[in-house]
Chains A and B, each alone.
Chain A
Amino acid sequence: MDAFSAVLQGLPMTLVLTLSAFAIGIVGAVPLAVGLSSPNVVLRLACRLFVDLVRGVPIIVWLFLLKFGIQVGTFKFNPVGAAIVGLGVVSIAYLAEIYRGGLESVPRGQNEAADALGLTRGTTFYRVLVPQAFRIVSPSIATYLTGLLKDSSIASTIIVAEMVFQSQSFARQHPTVEGILPYVLVGVLYIVLSLPVAYLSRSLDARMRKAVYA
């Protein structure tokens, strides 16, 4: 097997990790973002603390904690589970912060107009603020996805057979010059994989500017 196929073997797992964690993050970040903007001081600070704590600890530490540290009865995380949960929770924290920034960027006047018209808080939030916030932050969300793709490589340290892990094992088996190939290839592969998302992010950004700003 050549280096390229070896690395490709890890691609499905890389995608599974990235997309599962992203899905968890996209959904889980919504309640957290609401909490971060809440008028209730206690709730707001608790959410703030959670986000800052999760983002303040390196991902590898979270993965190790989940894989080696959690033992409830007979339940232990298997490597893939630990990776998905760990990356998922980290995504929730980062995306909640992005959502919050978006909500805050919606001009104050929108809230005032909605209030003056008599729209309820719920309607204002979901039909006026969220659509606008989403347009504002969709480029950032796309950028986050590319970051998440790269972070999935950290799962290789807890023995998850994604791309970097596969390139490592190939390199170990080939002590000759050929052994550098998997690293170069996997690097190129990550860059190539991030291109469509970067393109999407740029076009989302352009569309957003047109629709919201004229």
Chain B
Amino acid sequence: MTLSEIANGKLAPRTGIRLDNISKRYGDHLVIDDVSLNVEPGTVTALIGPSGAGKSTFLRCINLLERPDSGTIQVDHHTIEPGKVINAKDLAALRRTVGMVFQSFNLFPHMSALKNISFPQQKVLGRSKEEADERALQLLERVGLKDKADQHPGRCSGGQQQRIAIARALALDPSIMLFDEPTSALDPEVGLEVLAVMRELAQDGMTMIVVTHEMQFARDVSDTLVVMADCKIIEQGDPRAIMSDPQEDRTRRFLRAVLER
């Protein structure tokens, strides 16, 4: 079953997101400098660049885990101005539309894999326990971990935990998925399991924004490559074009360092 089939036979509406003029400082330290990004529905955007460029912070601004100081976020007919007071309803709607997968998985260690996926459905979407458990099992099967349903995260490997985390985020039927360096904490081999799940998600038409160091994934799977450095977007466009012939010197230097390892 594809993910779209799991959603009761109807495709979750493809949604895009548009961020304009996002800026953020920590004290005197500028972290994001007037960044704008338009993500078309159903596309995969890979965000790459040197450390400290603000990529993760920018990603976390999208679902307001970080509060930008200024700018606007438009998604699904909602416009949010994070610099001003945010309506609690808007925030809840945003968090339902946007799902997130973290570098350190952040599964709830005191709950089984199944409960990790079922519990948020019950609390956030109000689904019944039976319904939530059933969807959780379907998603676990989809990511290849049905036999781990009753295990606690502590007994699962890193790759397994991350796949459970992806299932947990998907259980809430998001239209957009954010991935914050999902494989950085994993061995290269183990990371492949996770990347495989992400590729399938992409094929199913999920809108995805991925901060990553996995250049092959970025080149093969993403529709748009965004290069961030020094708190700004310095280049964006077709991944293969940029990787074979970067326009900016900074991009060139970064790619050379990364690809040479």
Contacts and interface: CB of A to CB of B under 8 A. Distances in A.
Interface of A: 107, 109-110, 112-113, 115-120, 123, 127-128, 131-132, 135, 210-214
Nearest to A110: B106
B182 to A, nearest CB: 13
Nearest to B63: A116
A131 B110 contact: yes
Nearest to B120: A117
Interface string B77-117: 00000000000000010011011101011111110000000
Contact of B120 (A110, A112, A119): A119
Nearest to B125: A118
Chain A contact residues, majority secondary structure: helix
A117 B169 contact: yes
A116 B104 CA distance: 14
Given A211-B110, A211-B154, A112 B123 contact: no
Interface in B136-175: 152-155, 165, 168-169, 172
Given A109-B102, A116-B63, A214 B155 contact: yes
A210 B110 CA distance: 11
Contact of A213 (B92, B99, B123, B154): B154
A123 to B, nearest CB: 5
A52 B102 CA distance: 38
Contacts of A117: 95, 120, 124, 168-169, 172
A3 B112 CA distance: 54
Give 4 nearest A-B pairs by CB, closest first.
A214-B154, A113-B106, A109-B106, A118-B95
B65 interface: yes
B58 interface: no
B106 A112 contact: yes
A88 B42 CA distance: 60
Contacts of A212: 109-110, 154
A107 B110 CA distance: 13
A121 to B, nearest CB: 11
Nearest to B88: A120
Contacts of A109: 102, 104-106
A112 B110 contact: no
Nearest to B171: A117
A130 to B, nearest CB: 10
Contacts of A128: 108
Contacts of B92: 118
A135 B98 CA distance: 31
B106 A118 contact: no
Contacts of B104: 107, 109
B108 A113 contact: yes
Contacts of A135: 110
Given A109-B102, A123-B123, A116 B109 contact: no
13 contacts: A107-B104, A109-B102, A112-B102, A113-B100, A113-B165, A116-B65, A117-B120, A117-B124, A118-B120, A118-B172, A119-B123, A214-B153, A214-B154
A213 to B, nearest CB: 6
Nearest to B155: A214
B7 to A, nearest CB: 18
Contacts of B99: 116
A97 B38 CA distance: 47
A131 B108 CA distance: 10
Contacts of A120: 123
A135 B154 CA distance: 14
A127 B119 contact: yes
B107 to A, nearest CB: 8
Contacts of B107: 113
Contacts of B65: 112, 115-116
A110 B95 CA distance: 16
Nearest to B154: A214
Contacts of B154: 210-214
B124 A118 contact: yes
